[in-house]
Amino acid sequence: MGEFNLNSIRIGIIGTGYVGLMNGLGLADFGFNVTCGDVDGCKINGLSEGRLPIYEPGLGEVFERVLGLERIRFTCDIETLVKESHVIFICVGTPPKKDGSADLKYVWEVARDIGKYIDSYKVVVDKSTVPVGTARKVREKIQKELEARGMKIDFDVVSNPEFLREGKALHDFTHPDRVIIGSDSQKATEIMKKVFSPLKLNEVPFVFTTPETAEIIKYASNAFLATKIAFINEMATLCETVGGDVKKVSKAMGMDGRISDKFLHPGPGYGGSCFPKDTRALADIARNNGSESLVISSVIKSNERQKMRMVEKVKRAFPEGLESRKIAVLGLSFKPETDDVRESPSLVIIPELLKCGALIKAYDPKGIPQTKLALQNFESRITYCEDEYETCKDADAVLIVTDWNQFRSMDLSKIREIMKGDWFFDLRNIYTPEEVEKMGFYYEGVGTRRKEPGNIE
């Protein structure tokens, strides 16, 4: 391994967002010395002063622990990070461009930085979700910078896609279903095995493959999960139309081991920083390579339609129109246990209801600051509240958009008392129609036959 000592690997993370921070803290907790870098000075200052920029259960304790042990530091000085690290993880965002393709400008920036500053052998690890062929292009960009410097330095590029789920990131870091190492270099593979060797204790399986296959595995996995969600949402619509109960359908489907019950919960459509952008990027990659994916294109359309169907449910309940109706929205983040609102169904549903003249009262345990930023154009017509009860006060309808635990056992009689109207839209199916109707509400979930007012036995 030459100058590379497998027992004192120093890790550099470029891009200290959800993925970079989780990996940085997790690897520091494993005992590595880690430097997390970012161009966002505010984020880096906050982290250096002990403030986490994201909400993620359990992360605070790990953060305090590794800070106390001085195993991690935060910096905007990417040059020093590159020079001092042996293994450099690229964890920057890969947001969608207007045409749906992945915007790789941050990845290229980092590749150029690495090429400008490396002075000894490095393993460059691409953790960002990227199209097929990106590892090869990262290599070319680093090489080009080295040539411009007139330097010959050995390095390897590895694809190591991330599968963590926000809200469960800590568990997923220590207990991933698998670790994918996409590498053409035996030396880099050995180093990656060492970096993730603590996971062996948890019997985590490793998949060794080429960078290209690793890149496809990530998109294929996310697209498949998105497909399951879109599929069960379509079954929910069918159940609403013909009078079935989608909860039973999904439960019974999930009992088939070939199908599994995961990701078979109907709802307002998938959101988040990954599924929407990754399905669009995969559709773009397939199209550009002459093998258009009819499945993925349909999943994307189906998911957009699902969000709009939720708006239609509310509109149908108020045939005289939504003008000046107060709608209480519970849950803004794209799923519980995270403050992330990127592509959250709430960011589609709220503006659509506002367009119809509704007034929105909204609450989320963690997602309000991010929602305020995302919906700042609508600021004057959204009232952000302190809790679920304040949100429901005087509302004509309540809409559960995210299934935070604290919405699962609300005092329904209190809510019925303080609300002006009587519509209860449970877009996550966390209540049974019976228990809600018992309180005098009209209940509407996703995938059970709707009972029209006047049609309740």
Non-local (6+) Cβ contacts of 302 within 8 A are 230, 233, 234
Minimum distance of ligand NAD from residue 339's CB (angstroms): 11
Contact 322, 357 (CB under 8 A): yes
d(CA 18, CA 31): 20
Minimum distance of ligand NAD from residue 318's CB (angstroms): 36
Q: Which is nearer to ligand NAD, 37 or 211 (CB)?
A: 37
| Distance, first Cα to last Cα, the chain | 76
Minimum distance of ligand NAD from residue 18's CB (angstroms): 4
Minimum distance of ligand NAD from residue 455's CB (angstroms): 42
Active site residue 239: no
Minimum distance of ligand NAD from residue 12's CB (angstroms): 11
Structure tokens at 327: 């709608």
Q: Which is nearer to ligand NAD, 169 or 286 (CB)?
A: 169
Q: Which is nearer to ligand NAD, 19 or 332 (CB)?
A: 19
Minimum distance of ligand NAD from residue 299's CB (angstroms): 17
Give residue number: closest CB to ligand NAD: 17
Q: Which is nearer to ligand NAD, 14 or 170 (CB)?
A: 14
Q: Which of 204, 85, 101, 132 is nearest to 110 (CA)?
A: 85
Q: How far is CA 294 from each of CA 84, 231, 284, 298, 300, rounded to the nearest angstrom?
A: 46, 14, 12, 6, 10
Q: Which of 388, 55, 9 is nearest to 197 (CA)?
A: 9
Q: Which is nearer to ligand NAD, 155 or 442 (CB)?
A: 155
Question: In degrees, to the nearest 5, what angle opens at C-alpha 418 toward C-alphas 412 and 422?
Answer: 65
Q: Is 166 exposed, middle or buried (0-12, 13-18, 19+ CB in 10 A)?
A: buried
Q: Which is nearer to ligand NAD, 275 or 442 (CB)?
A: 275
Q: Which is nearer to ligand NAD, 240 or 340 (CB)?
A: 340
Choosing from 91, 239, 274, 392, the catalytic residue is 274
Minimum distance of ligand NAD from residue 238's CB (angstroms): 31
Q: Which residues bind ligand NAD (CB under 6 A)?
A: 14-20, 37-40, 43, 91-94, 106, 109-110, 128-129, 162, 164, 166, 273-274
Active site residues: 274
